[in-house]
Amino acid sequence: MAGRFAAAAVLALVVSGCGSDSTPADEVPALATRLDRVDAAIAAGDDARARTALRALTEATTRSQEAGDISSDQADRIVAAATELLARLPEEAPAPPTDPETSATTPPASEEAPAPTPHKPKDKDPKHHGHPKGKGHGKAH
């Protein structure tokens, strides 16, 4: 976790500048907003939200550079720092695979229980005067 905060601090320095007259955040306030979202997600330990915020920051940086709002050098430093921070985050958990054929035809587990079989009366053996066959304690009589 400390590595993430350190990388986020580096990213913050890159976006906000380090003693320069004009920073990317000054020139494009949307970049500062995006950085705030990255910081909040990292502080909350929400890796998925941090990944989303970092990707959005990278895209906004690229658009700002293409529009001439920030220099290529500034954009390159922001993108490099965001990419480094993305690499420090744990990998995204893959979504469980879904098989459309089995999920559509397989009923949920609660519906798989077999239906109870109806109780059939035992046949009475006429030789034993109404006593059912096999009655006893397992010993021959």
- Taking alpha carbons only, the member of 57, 38, 65, 60 closest to residue 49 is 38
Q: ∠ CA(33), CA(40), CA(63), 5° rounding?
A: 30
Residues 93-121 have pLDDT tens digits of: 666 777 656 555 555 555 555 556 666 65
Question: Rounded distance, CA 29 to CA 112, Å?
Answer: 57
* Inter-residue contact 44 to 68 (CB < 8 Å): no
Quote the pTM value. Answer: 0.56
pLDDT, tens digit, for every residue of 35-79? Answer: 889 989 988 999 999 999 999 999 999 999 999 999 999 999 999
| Burial class of residue 4 in the structure, from the number of CB atoms within 10 Å of its CB (0-12 exposed, 13-18 middle, 19+ buried) | middle
Q: Determine the pLDDT at residue 43.
A: 87
User: What's the pLDDT score for residue 60?
Assistant: 93
CA atoms of 9 and 29, how far apart (whole Å): 18
Would the CA dihedral through 86, 89, 90, 96 be positive or negative? negative
